[in-house]
Structure 1
Amino acid sequence: MEPQSSLPDDLLRAAPKVLLHDHLDGGLRPATIVELAAEIGHPLPETDADALATWFAEAADSGSLERYLETFAHTVGVMQTASAVTRVARECVEDLAADGVVYAEIRYAPELHVESGLELEDVVAAVQQGFEEGMAAAGGRIVVRHLLTAMRQAANAREIADLAIAWRDRGVVGFDIAGPEAGYPPTRFLDAFEYLQRENFHFTIHAGEGFGLPSIWEAVQWCGADRLGHGVRIVDDIKVDEAGVAQLGRLASYVRDKRIPLEMCPSSNIQTGAAPSISEHPIKLLASLRFRVTVNTDNRLMSRTSLSKEFALLSEAFGYGWAEMEWLTVNAMKSAFIPYDERFRLITQTIKPWYAERMSG
């Protein structure tokens, strides 16, 4: 008999959650895309919000990372003015707060939003304004910070790294590279990562999603990644025998021993072909082996998901209850790029008391 979710929807949404891997241009409200597109004459495949939501989900559901990335032409296309970027950022915070997220790091690539005259600095300032408006509207229930992303297929990594450092005390807490993994190894951007390390700054690297162990190895051992974006393919370095005993290879052992966080995005991984189904997602094996696993949304629009929904799917597939959800949430909070005292305060004052109350009832 298949496990059933033991976590009621209303409590799932109320539960304090932490989100480390979420793309700003992958989480727009469909109605907002329709309105912003109409203002600038951007052609859309559908102009009804519900129909557009379905189009995004189906176009992203191809099993190909490259095809999945094509859907962003429409979200990025309507995010080319400061007012549009601020609106999207504000609504992102509002939507996460409504879903019970208490801390989030939202990533985006400033270089994708300069087609209509914005400077890179203008993009970051517009996002920060939206985040501040959203946090104020949420009445202190959520803290949101930026991760600045450089695109692998471009050559702007060092410039974006400089931008991240310039904004480090104004909302930006980390750096990232994203885009197609195959053909664009993280070592191409080694100068940016070495610069960030010299500046005592944090960074995560998309690795082990569309490509395998070599991508993870380079991200960790050459570039010094603090976290791995996805990291699903680390399971290629783990062998499970017929008795169910796992043997870890040297890279998998290193990642686990060093507590390098894995930013896992179950629904997204199925869409891009990184995992065959939720029930077969490596997250269960990796969690059982006590890797530093975290649960994330990646692109809420394309995956038609929320962090509550991701936890509901894991609960249904694996029988996860409040104890597992708390462990995964604390993992994420421990792995955040904000200072230790702020992480500790959220864990001890917000996260653990809530789950303790659920589990004692």
Structure 2
Amino acid sequence: MTQPTLEQIRQAPKVLLHDHLDGGLRTETIIDLARESGYDKLPSTDPAALARWFQEASDSGSLERYLETFEHTVAVMQTRDALVRCAAECAEDLAADGVVYAEVRYAPELHISGGLSLDEVVTAVNEGFRLGSEGRGIRVGALLTAMRHQARSMEIAELAVRYRDVGVVGFDIAGAEAGFPPTRHLDAFEYLQRENAHFTIHAGEGFGLPSIWQAIQWCGADRLGHGVRIIDDIAVAGDGEAKLGRLAAYVRDKRIPLEMAPTSNLQTGAAPSIERHPIGLLRRLHFRVTVNTDNRLMSATSVSLEFHKLVEAFDYDWDDLQWFTINAMKSAFIPFDERLALINGVIKPGFAQLKWRA
């Protein structure tokens, strides 16, 4: 089977589980919103130059430095109109890249400095996703994120439960991992479990195996945001045979989804290169791996570009890309019958048509 080209991959029906709203803004929109709000700290007011700045500032190899770039995007997302616009454009951009289902996350607590309440933030983003999705063949659900260095996780968890039938599909914690273990938010996770609510936890990106173990065994995460460092619990012999440690075996056996974002993982120092990214070994060992963008602005990427990089690095074909896509759809936080309908009614037929053309 011939390798898919980037243009062909753009036509494929794709699924995205790990994408940050404030990490995917259009540079033209950032400049417009900064002008409207009086924010004068942008590194540049030229769209192309600003895009380069975001990418270069994110290439430090440090998760903490990478996170600093969000100061500019969050600063211009403090009004209802700004949030509606950013969310609508997010849905439009993902649809244009062939994404048919996406879960986009954001932290409501970061968007209230302009006077909005947490509820007003959520309703604004939901409205934007609705407007941007209409007639474009995409469904977007929101993940509400609590910042792990703050103390509002219970409040955000309650917000996620309150809106789970009206646009919100789950909960997340994000931010610097080192020094801020997920166990600090145990009360929020226990509440979500009592409410039968879904949640994912950023773990195994900026910190190692202990963060993965805590996220799964102490907090009960449904999915792992990144989880790249699970590779530290896998030993590969000279002949390529892999031996899984207890934690890695548990993650694989339980089919715990790994929300990996190859380009972002390089930028934060979680992987040395695409060719040496753990996703290659993890796919070979049949972990529940998914391919994501993390922050499309900072990484200058899309789901199609991430797939294409993996095709070039690992010689993947259409079957591999379909495998990643179905993994993601199986792992989504919407009801089983709705996931199945997208797999059988959209994803499999879409890939079958592309494979037939190839």
How many Å apart are 1:281 and its aligned residue? 0.2
Give the equivalent residue in structure 2 for 1:73.
Answer: 71
Give the equivalent residue in structure 1 for 2:184.
Answer: 188
Aligned mates of 1:67, 1:102 — CA distance in 2: 32
Give the equivalent residue in structure 2 for 1:51.
Answer: 49
Aligned length: 355
Aligned mates of 2:5, 2:208 — CA distance in 1: 36
Give the equivalent residue in structure 2 for 1:276.
Answer: 272
The DSSP-based 3-state class of the residue aligned with 2:334 is coil
Give yes or no for contact 2:8–2:354 (8 Å, CA) kept in 1.
no
Give the equivalent residue in structure 1 for 2:32.
Answer: 35
Give the equivalent residue in structure 2 for 1:225.
Answer: 221
Aligned mates of 1:142, 1:348 — CA distance in 2: 16
How many Å apart are 1:137 and its aligned residue? 4.5
Give yes or no for contact 1:227–1:263 (8 Å, CA) kept in 2.
yes
Give the equivalent residue in structure 2 for 1:328.
Answer: 324
Aligned mates of 1:34, 1:242 — CA distance in 2: 52
How many Å apart are 1:160 and its aligned residue? 0.2
Aligned mates of 2:133, 2:296 — CA distance in 1: 19
Give the equivalent residue in structure 2 for 1:176.
Answer: 172
Give yes or no for contact 2:255–2:287 (8 Å, CA) kept in 1.
yes
Does 178-187 or 350-359 show the bigger shift? 350-359
Give the equivalent residue in structure 2 for 1:101.
Answer: 99
Give yes or no for contact 1:94–1:137 (8 Å, CA) kept in 2.
no
Give the equivalent residue in structure 1 for 2:151.
Answer: 155
The DSSP-based 3-state class of the residue aligned with 1:235 is helix
Q: Which amino acid is the alignment partner of residue 118 of structure 1?
A: L
Moved beyond 4 Å, runs of 4+:
none
Give the equivalent residue in structure 1 for 2:302.
Answer: 306
Give the equivalent residue in structure 1 for 2:15.
Answer: 18
Q: Which amino acid is the alignment partner of residue 75 of structure 2?
A: G
How many Å apart are 1:354 and its aligned residue? 1.5
Q: Which amino acid is the alignment partner of residue 110 of structure 1?
A: P
Provide Cα deviations, 1:275-304, integer angstroms capped at 9, x if missing partner: 000000000000000000000000000000
Matching of residues 133-148 of structure 1 within 5 Å: 133-138=131-136, 141-148=137-144
Q: 2:115 aligns with which of 110, 114, 117?
A: 117
Aligned mates of 1:115, 1:96 — CA distance in 2: 28
How many Å apart are 1:7 and its aligned residue? 1.5
Give yes or no for contact 2:126–2:167 (8 Å, CA) kept in 1.
yes
Give the equivalent residue in structure 1 for 2:311.
Answer: 315
The DSSP-based 3-state class of the residue aligned with 1:18 is strand
Aligned mates of 1:359, 1:312 — CA distance in 2: 16
Give the equivalent residue in structure 1 for 2:341.
Answer: 345
Aligned mates of 1:358, 1:89 — CA distance in 2: 30
Provide Cα deviations, 1:66-86, integer angstroms capped at 9, x if missing partner: 000000000000000000000
Aligned mates of 2:338, 2:355 — CA distance in 1: 25
TM-score, scaled to structure 2: 0.98
Aligned mates of 2:318, 2:59 — CA distance in 1: 30
Give the equivalent residue in structure 1 for 2:126.
Answer: 128
Aligned mates of 1:94, 1:356 — CA distance in 2: 25
TM-score, scaled to structure 1: 0.97
| Gapped regions of structure 2 (runs ≥ 5) | none
2:199 paired with 1:203: yes
The DSSP-based 3-state class of the residue aligned with 1:359 is helix
The DSSP-based 3-state class of the residue aligned with 1:302 is helix
Aligned mates of 1:244, 1:10 — CA distance in 2: 33
How many Å apart are 1:64 and its aligned residue? 0.5
How many Å apart are 1:234 and its aligned residue? 0.2
Give the equivalent residue in structure 2 for 1:167.
Answer: 163
Give yes or no for contact 2:16–2:99 (8 Å, CA) kept in 1.
yes
Q: 1:266 aligns with which of 262, 266, 271?
A: 262
The DSSP-based 3-state class of the residue aligned with 2:296 is coil
Q: Which amino acid is the alignment partner of residue 12 of structure 1?
A: I
Q: Which amino acid is the alignment partner of residue 23 of structure 1?
A: H
Provide Cα deviations, 1:150-193, integer angstroms capped at 9, x if missing partner: 00010000000000000011011100000000001011100000
Aligned mates of 1:26, 1:359 — CA distance in 2: 32
Q: % of aligned pairs identical?
A: 68
